[in-house]
Structure 1
């Protein structure tokens, strides 16, 4: 089993445990902050299950129907996860505003504090594990999952602090006010996940820094006199690159092919944790201007 899939199994199991703990205490105590955290953990459970399915589907080999594989299921999963986070934040915001308008006293305060303290510790270890996997694999789904649980880490800490303050001061408004803060933070954290996933689904080019490195490799080959039509896109754990490389008309196809192979190897070395697919079109002359004129017509 891939490390990424193992990570989703671990996160799903942890989310299931946290849902049972938080939902029980949240319903009994009437705390909006604890209930919001329980709902978020339930969504974590749902998203982690979806992520496992996404990774399992994305790693299937290309076939007659999907010639380029199913790697785009990964950015799709990231968009779904970001959207789920945003929708849960809207629900939490609504519940918090209702409690501000109609205050009610919390119960089972000590139990709530112990549950949130345990949740904080468990989530901390999970975030550390997911960050390790994300750094090692550079997988977009795991990065989104790690960020999701990182928001949980902050929200759990904030809820625990709020419960302690309510216990000491007796001020019940601290609970819904914190719920509003958590909701806003969740939406703020979800937007970059959604943006990155959408850009990948739309086949956005690689970052400018990566493009510069690719161009440097192409410019460093003496037998390549020029290049054009450099096109790049990323699809989950796969990167697709195509370029037209111009050679001297007198070079043999064999020698030009050797140079193309060397270029491909150097470019692949830039993305160690990705599957890189490179297509080098070998031109005997620079036809970029001719093709541009034809495109206009």
Structure 2
């Protein structure tokens, strides 16, 4: 018993309504919630872009004054971090578009594509920083204006840590893996900014090689961020979910009156919202109307009790008679 078919005869507007809210709740509530999530994401991106751009420009001026390759690596990474806001903003805007007959789940997966772009940007910044550090090791130069380099390093740490906390907090609240990955990227930028202080201190003590060495260490740190961000995006592209979410959804369904057991459950992310498909087993003596009512209640509980779940499809199976296979005709197709 699948509920999706009920919306077909109502036309295109009804299909969009059913996609967003597959039972009796007002579709405007779910649409507003999705739009609010996208709006919060766009707000975070705009503010963090401004903060990181100002920070990176200030650092770039000091790079020209000092010639510090460690600060150059940090500056390049800050510029890269600011630029990651662009594909994410495009993804959030696309995600607000209505579903179509071709993109029947909407455009939420654009966030995952943005995550790929972010990973590429991080990789490019790591390559540039590493190249400049190696070049300076081969052809060393004295670092000047060490006091300003230290100030730039502290400014870089402060700006990145603030942006990291902001992005990670909101990203987790709205369920955006790309925004969380971007926040982790910014957090490591902050620690690499502190590493620039070590390079400046070494140069001040008469060890100019400390600057390019720190530049290489920063490159290694960026590579660790690259690994973590790539893993996060890979999981999302492969429809991975936290197993605890699956367990919680099964518990919710098991608590619904009339549900004997949960036969199967599937969850997937579409952008920063979850969708669910569940098969529940019911008393075979229930009428069609009664079984439908249990399915509606199960869907209702899932949507309300599972964070960030926006839609669920619930299929009901009869628990018996014993020895009866109600899906025998489908065996060859599974």
The residue that corresponds to 1:293 in the other structure is 331
Q: 1:270 to 1:188 in 2, by over 3 A?
A: farther
TM-score by length of 1: 0.89
Contact kept? 1:34, 1:159, Cα under 8 Å = yes
Long gaps (5+) in structure 2: 1-35
Contact kept? 1:228, 1:244, Cα under 8 Å = yes
- Corresponding residue SS for 2:102: coil
The residue that corresponds to 2:44 in the other structure is 7
The residue that corresponds to 2:132 in the other structure is 95
1:291 shift after superposition = 5.6
Q: 1:276 to 1:221 in 2, by over 3 A?
A: same
1:292 shift after superposition = 6.5
Contact kept? 1:237, 1:275, Cα under 8 Å = no
1:270 shift after superposition = 4.1
2:99 aligned with 1:49, yes or no? no
1:91 shift after superposition = 2.1
> C-alpha distance in 1, partners of 2:289/2:234?
41
2:252 aligned with 1:217, yes or no? yes
Q: Greater shift after overlay, 182-191 or 282-291?
A: 282-291
The structure 1 segments of at least 4 consecutive aligned residues displaced by more than 6 Å after TM superposition are none
Q: 1:135 to 1:222 in 2, by over 3 A?
A: closer
2:331 aligned with 1:278, yes or no? no
TM-score by length of 2: 0.80
Q: Deviations over 1:11-61 (max 9, x none)?
A: 111122122112222133221111111111221122112211111111222
Q: Greater shift after overlay, 280-289 or 171-180?
A: 280-289
2:64 aligned with 1:27, yes or no? yes
- Corresponding residue SS for 2:84: helix
1:5 shift after superposition = 0.8
Long gaps (5+) in structure 1: none
1:227 shift after superposition = 3.7
Contact kept? 2:303, 2:310, Cα under 8 Å = yes
2:227 aligned with 1:191, yes or no? yes
Q: 1:288 to 1:17 in 2, by over 3 A?
A: farther
Contact kept? 2:175, 2:273, Cα under 8 Å = no
Map of 1:154-165 to 2, 5 A cutoff? 154-165=191-202
The residue that corresponds to 1:203 in the other structure is 239
RMSD of Structure 2 on Structure 1 (CA): 2.2
> C-alpha distance in 2, partners of 1:31/1:215?
56
Q: 1:98 to 1:288 in 2, by over 3 A?
A: farther
1:232 shift after superposition = 2.1
Contact kept? 2:253, 2:301, Cα under 8 Å = no
> C-alpha distance in 2, partners of 1:127/1:211?
28
2:212 aligned with 1:176, yes or no? yes
> C-alpha distance in 1, partners of 2:184/2:133?
23
Contact kept? 1:232, 1:240, Cα under 8 Å = yes
Q: Greater shift after overlay, 39-48 or 116-125?
A: 116-125
Contact kept? 1:96, 1:177, Cα under 8 Å = yes
